[in-house]
Amino acid sequence: MEKVQIILAGIGGQGILFSSRIFSEWGLKMGLPIMGSETHGMSQRGGSVIAHLKLGDFHSPMIRGGTADILYSFEENETYKSLKFLRSGAICFANLESAERFDRKILDHLQEKGITFRAYDASGAASRMGSIMSTNIILIGYSVGTGLVPFQYDDLKSVLESITKKTYLEVNLKAFETGFRAGKE
């Protein structure tokens, strides 16, 4: 794989920037050039937050509509708004209680375009773990578990170990593991 374009979408406080960092560090480990774009400032106060990440040979940190390979979305409405970034054949991981909640027509349209849509209740799993802040790591773990993404379990785990603050390491690894197992099922 020489190029991968990832969109991470959600709202302020959902750990979008940390999630983006996980994949950037992964890219660095893989020896890929990294270009990402982040939202800072006013939107961080509960507004829409979106991170673009391009690994491989790119110039711009921003992803054009219809060209992204993977979308991680941590909030339902932000999922709808971010789907436009995906190319045909791309994959979306949505934090959602169930795929039934999602608009039927949109799902059909995604299917026509060959876009894989995987819904997983990462927030629910995070609540059960007693750590709602871990929703992002759980969804990322889930995606690795499905085997549909180019990231390997050991690689992302070691990235997490290297970039997580000590006090949160245990809970982050547990979240990653929880998501990973759910993804494998």
Partner 1 sequence: MAQKEEVRILLGNAAIGRGIVEAGCHVMTSYPGTPSSEILPAVVAFKKELGLNTYIEWSANEKVAFDNALAASMSGKRAAVAMKQVGLNVASDSLMSSAYTGVIGGLVIISCDDPGPHSSQTEQDSRFFGMFAKVPVYDPSTPQEAKEMVKEAFELSESFQIPVLVRPTIRVSHARQNVKFSPVEVFDRPADFKKNPDRWAATPRYRLMLHKKLNESLIQIQERFENDTRWNYRIGDGPGTSIGIITCSMSFAALMDILEESNLKGSVNVLKIGTPYPLPQRKVAAFINKHEKVLVIEETDAVIESQIIDKSKVLGRLTGHIPLQGELVPDVIYNILAGVLEEHDVAHLESSTDAEFDMRIDELELPVRRPTLCAGCPERAAFFAIRKALPKAIYTSDIGCYTLGLNLNAVDTVLDMGAGITLASGFYQAYHQDSNDIAIVATMGDSTFYHSGTASLLNAVYNKAKFILVILDNEITAMTGMQPTPGLGITADGSEGVKIPLEELIRGCGVKWIRTIDPYDVDALIALLKEARVYTQSSDGGVAAIIARHPCLICYPEARREVTVKVEITDDCNGCNYCIDYFECPALRLNEEQDIVEIDRKFCVDCGVCINVCPRGAIVPIES
Rule CB under 8 A: say whether 114 interacts with partner 1.
no
Binds partner 1 (CB under 8 A): choice among 83, 94, 139, 156: 83
Rule CB under 8 A: say whether 104 interacts with partner 1.
no
Buried b (16+ CB within 10 A) or exposed e, 116-154: ebbbbbbbbbbeebebebbbbbbbbbbbbbbeebebebe
48: Cβ–Cβ under 8 A, 6 or more apart, which residues?
A: 9, 10, 11, 39, 78, 81
User: In the complex with partner 1, which residue's Cβ is closer, 39 or 174?
Assistant: 39
Binds partner 1 (CB under 8 A): choice among 7, 15, 19, 36: 36
Contacts to partner 1 by CB under 8 A: 11-12, 20-21, 24-25, 27-28, 33-48, 53, 58-67, 77-78, 80-81, 83-84, 103, 105-106, 109, 113, 132
